[in-house]
């Protein structure tokens, strides 16, 4: 038979889809939201993963920083990048309940309604975080959707506060006319003032009845340096109340113009020792100099020197001590410098005539912060800075094994007692506890060591302590009671008690 050429393949089968060039993929990924960029790009290719690595590291560092300070502002727990839906679905079985709640709240904060729709039915909590998150992010559509669910996602005063803090007036204007209205309180005005959102504050105060406010509103405006907000609030009838906290907040933020305006009113905004203290803590020498130059001067006391030393603000400390009469100081000044690891401040303070006084608290503060160089210098003076058992205890609490080892290697050794083991156990520092007990003679311990470990949920510490020969003494009932917030630790204690013939 004659050879027959095969039929031509269809055009769509003959040409395989061409891969996108690398530079095009990079360009596309640059437009992705942060969460999608962090999680999607590494899946596409190794080259893209390497390209995206710096951005991924930056995003994760920012998220870690927000979580670290999350106790300061509730919304910071979910303000980091939102996780794309496909990634959340993939990771969902491995997430804890708390992680699931925060993932859904992140979606609300970033306006990712698709992810929130998927996650909300699977929640185990009451859903109160999601309205707050949507309001904080200014996503009215998400908030409206959350409130139309059955039952609606609950809201409270935090929802209005979050909207005001972000300056999201439209969110606030929608939330308040609902039936019943989203609740608000003085924290709403405080949040608006803190963010410098004058329009939000003005609207809130024109409602019937007006959103309540108090001294915190003026203090928040002063803290943020929002002079226009403060001026408007104080010129209302009646004026928004203010007090010493307003001047203190302005000084803390270094806002000299705000402080000057507040003090030129009739009557002047009151101030007290806290104003100088706050200026010193922030290292705001210009604010402090102006405050002290007034007639009469803004009052100060030894607590002005302490925060200056704690913050390492040597120029501030030198200036306040050069005045006539000098700003008073006491042992807390040296302790504060040591706590912050500010050796130059401590050295200057001790070089004065007469020297700034110090005591055992100075060594304890240095040990607590792990500042071995400060501690060594303090002990090398003639006479040495005194220390006591608290120095070892403070080092143990901070987990600073090198500090503890150095202190115990001196002649004579720094004294210690059972508080060293107790504080190491309380903070979960097993390696330090093991070293302390391995010395000759061992660092003493008592029942408090076990109860402290139990209270902190440090099961490995407790297990090790009880496994020694002889075991660390314990009061099993006290330990079980202390471990109620640590279920795994409590269950282990229950099992040990059963072996000893006790039933908890």
**CA distance linking residue 84 with residue 462, whole number of Å:** 41
Q: Report, as an integer, the average pLDDT of 331-348.
A: 99
Quick check: is 409 in a domain?
Answer: no
From the DSSP assignment, how many helices (H) and strands (E) are in the chain?
33, 0
| Residue 192 domain flag | no
Total domains, the chain: 1
**pLDDT value of position 43:** 74
Per-residue pLDDT tens over the stretch 302-333:
999 999 999 999 999 999 999 999 999 999 99
Q: What's residue 65's pLDDT? A: 64
| Mean pLDDT, all residues of the chain | 91
Worst-scoring range by mean pLDDT, 59-73, 103-117, 404-418? 59-73
* Model confidence pLDDT, tens digit, residues 179-208: 999 999 999 999 999 999 999 999 999 999
Q: What is d(CA 307, CA 314) in angstroms, rounded to the nearest whole number?
A: 11
CATH number for 235: 1.25.40
Phi, psi of 416, deg, nearest 5:
-140, 170
Domain range holding 277? 207-289
Residue 245 lies in a domain: yes
Of residues 364, 316, 315, the one with CA closest to residue 336 = 364
In a domain, 437, yes or no: no
Residue 254 lies in a domain: yes
Which tokens go with 73?
Answer: 């502002």
Give yes or no for residue 10 having a pLDDT over 60.
no
Is 236 among the domain residues?
A: yes
Of the two residues 324 and 98, the one the predictor is more confident about is 324
Q: Is residue 214 part of a domain?
A: yes
Which residues are within 8 A (CB) of 148 and not within 5 positions of it... i.e. 6 or more apart? none
pLDDT band at 5 (very low <50, low <70, confident <90, very high): very low
Quick one: which of 277, 290, 372 has its CA closest to 317?
Answer: 277
Q: Give the residue among 246, 249, 289, 286 at the shortest CA–CA distance from 270.
A: 246
Reported confidence tier of residue 72, pLDDT bands at 50, 70, 90: very low
In a domain, 237, yes or no: yes
If you average pLDDT over residues 175-179, what whole number do you get? Answer: 97
Per residue in 264-276, pLDDT (tens digit) is 999 999 999 999 9
The DSSP result for 290-330, as a single string, is: HHHHSSSPPP--HHHHHHHHHTT-HHHHHHHHTSSSPPP--
């Amino acid at each position: 038979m004659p050879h027959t050429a095969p039929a031509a393949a269809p055009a769509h089968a003959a040409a395989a889809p061409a891969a996108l060039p690398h530079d095009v993929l990079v360009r596309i990924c640059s437009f992705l939201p942060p969460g999608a960029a962090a999680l999607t790009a590494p899946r596409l290719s190794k080259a893209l993963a390497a390209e995206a690595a710096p951005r991924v590291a930056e995003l994760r560092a920012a998220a870690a920083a927000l979580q670290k300070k999350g106790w300061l502002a509730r919304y910071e727990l979910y303000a980091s990048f939102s996780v794309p839906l496909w990634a959340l679905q993939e990771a969902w079985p491995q997430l804890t309940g708390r992680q699931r709640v925060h993932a859904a709240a992140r979606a609300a904060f970033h306006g990712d309604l698709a992810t929130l729709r998927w996650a909300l039915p699977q929640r185990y909590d009451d859903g109160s975080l999601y309205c707050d998150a949507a309001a904080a992010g200014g996503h009215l559509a998400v908030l409206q959707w959350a409130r139309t669910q059955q039952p609606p996602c609950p809201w409270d005063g935090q929802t209005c506060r979050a909207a005001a803090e972000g300056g999201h007036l439209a969110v606030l204007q929608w939330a308040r006319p609902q039936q019943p209205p989203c609740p608000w309180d003085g924290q709403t005005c405080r949040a608006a003032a803190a963010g410098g959102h004058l329009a939000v504050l003005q609207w809130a105060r024109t409602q019937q009845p007006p959103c309540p406010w108090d001294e915190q509103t003026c203090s928040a405006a002063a803290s943020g340096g929002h002079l226009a907000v403060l001026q408007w609030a104080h010129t209302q009838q009646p004026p928004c109340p203010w007090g010493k906290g307003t001047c203190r907040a302005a000084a803390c933020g270094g806002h000299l113009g705000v402080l000057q305006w507040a003090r030129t009113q009739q009557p002047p905004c009151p101030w007290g020792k806290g104003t100088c203290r706050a200026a010193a803590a922030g290292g705001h020498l210009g604010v402090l100099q102006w405050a002290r130059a007034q007639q009469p001067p803004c009052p100060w006391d030894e607590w002005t020197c302490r925060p200056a030393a704690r913050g390492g603000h040597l120029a501030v400390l030198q200036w306040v001590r050069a005045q006539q009469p000098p700003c008073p100081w006491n042992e807390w000044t040296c302790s504060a410098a040591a706590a912050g690891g500010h050796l130059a401040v401590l050295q200057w303070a001790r070089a004065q005539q007469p020297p700034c006084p110090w005591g055992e608290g100075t060594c304890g503060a240095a040990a607590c912060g792990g500042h071995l160089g400060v501690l060594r210098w303090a002990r090398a003076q003639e006479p040495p800075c005194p220390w006591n058992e608290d120095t070892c205890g403070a080092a143990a609490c901070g987990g600073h094994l090198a500090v503890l080892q150095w202190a115990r290697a001196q002649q004579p050794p720094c004294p210690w007692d059972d508080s060293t083991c107790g504080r190491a156990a309380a903070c979960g520092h097993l390696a330090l506890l093991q070293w302390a007990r391995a010395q000759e003679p061992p660092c003493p311990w008592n029942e408090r060591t076990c109860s402290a470990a139990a209270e902190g949920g440090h099961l490995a510490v407790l297990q090790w302590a009880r496994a020694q020969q002889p075991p660390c003494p314990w009061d099993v009932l006290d330990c079980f009671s202390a471990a109620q917030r640590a279920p795994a630790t409590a269950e282990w204690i229950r099992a040990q008690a059963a072996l000893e013939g006790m039933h908890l």
